[in-house]
Structure 1
Amino acid sequence: MIIGLTLGQFTALHVAISLVAIASGIVVMAAFAAGHRRIAALSGLFLLTTAATTITGFMFPFNGPTPAFLTGVVSVPMLALAFAAYFGLKLRGRAAAVYAVSASIALYLNLLAFVTQAFLKIPPLHALAPSGTEPPFLVAQMVMLVAMIGVGALSFRAARRV
């Protein structure tokens, strides 16, 4: 049991939080890349649910470092920077650029986990890449990485214009 939930229930909660974080993050970062700095409620939702995803990820039984654990370790400082830039510094000055980069990385890490889990858990995708090293999995990861680099670069450029 984790926080009073069975492992299955806790996993469902973690996945639901992650999906909200990803959906809100995509909208927020697309808006930021287009030059819209503050979508207050949605930006807060993105940051809070992304932090909750990371925190709940650390609450799963620990059997040594895994790629998911290491992703969480990288996510923590990115989220700390994004929170400080957004809530603390209100995106003033260079904080907007810090937010653009750190929030883009945090969203990418969520998407990385999402795509990885999709290929592990969804039977048709798993059939395409059972070991996670086959071309369909690698292409999906590469497309996502390139897209997030593009969003991050556009967000950084938009942050520096204002």
Structure 2
Amino acid sequence: MFDLSVFTLVHVVISVLGIITGLVVVGGLLAGARLEGWTALFLATTTLTSVTGFGFPFTKVLPPHVVGAVSLVVLAVCLVARYGKRLEGSWRTIYVVTAVTALYLNVFVLVVQLFTKTPPLAQLAPTQQEAPFAVTQALVLALFVWLGWAACRAFGTEKAVTATAQG
């Protein structure tokens, strides 16, 4: 009744879509544009990524469950900022920060999976405690901190361009 390989494939496809659409949305933020369709797809796929992550069999709470829970909290705030508060006042910056954070968490997990499932990377960091893994995650974090800062400057204020572009 429950085919784990099909479920895994669906989860991975949703996750990849979440990352791709998230990159498009962040690109829009950097350009000061609301990409309504892309944003809705990004938030839906990223939420589904976190929700489906809890569908894998487990007997105890592990780091992926914590990341998934944090992601869902971040996404809840993001949804409130975007749709509930309509980007008014400080909610605009909150939206940018939470959208970039949600994308970062997806990419963080992608890096973990790449180091787990890709043999050459797994050899470099078999326990994910080694320097190549730590350096990669640090560079990804630095990139997203910069993207968040730049997106806040470009989109996070009332002065930002608010052109609506349908995705």
TM-score (normalizing by structure 1): 0.92
Q: Give the one of 41, 51, 54 matched to 1:55.
A: 51
1:76-123 per-residue CA deviation (whole Å, 9 max, x = no partner) reads 110001111112222222221111111111111101100000100011
RMSD, aligned α-carbons: 1.3
The answer for the alignment partner of 2:19 in structure 1 is 22
Runs of 4+ more than 6 Å apart: none
1:33-91 per-residue CA deviation (whole Å, 9 max, x = no partner) reads 2322x101111110000000011011111221111000011111100011111122222
- Structure 2: any 5+ residue segments left out of the alignment? 160-167
The one-letter code of the counterpart of 2:15 is S
Deviation at 1:16, TM superposition (A): 0.4
> Which has the larger helix fraction?
1
Contact 2:89 2:158 in 1 (8 A): no
Output aligned runs, 1:61-76, within 5 Å.
61-76=57-72
Contact 1:71 1:109 in 2 (8 A): yes
Give the share of equivalent positions with the same residue, in percent.
Answer: 41
The one-letter code of the counterpart of 2:113 is Q
The answer for the alignment partner of 2:163 in structure 1 is none
- Structure 1: any 5+ residue segments left out of the alignment? none
TM-score (normalizing by structure 2): 0.89
Contact 1:100 1:156 in 2 (8 A): yes
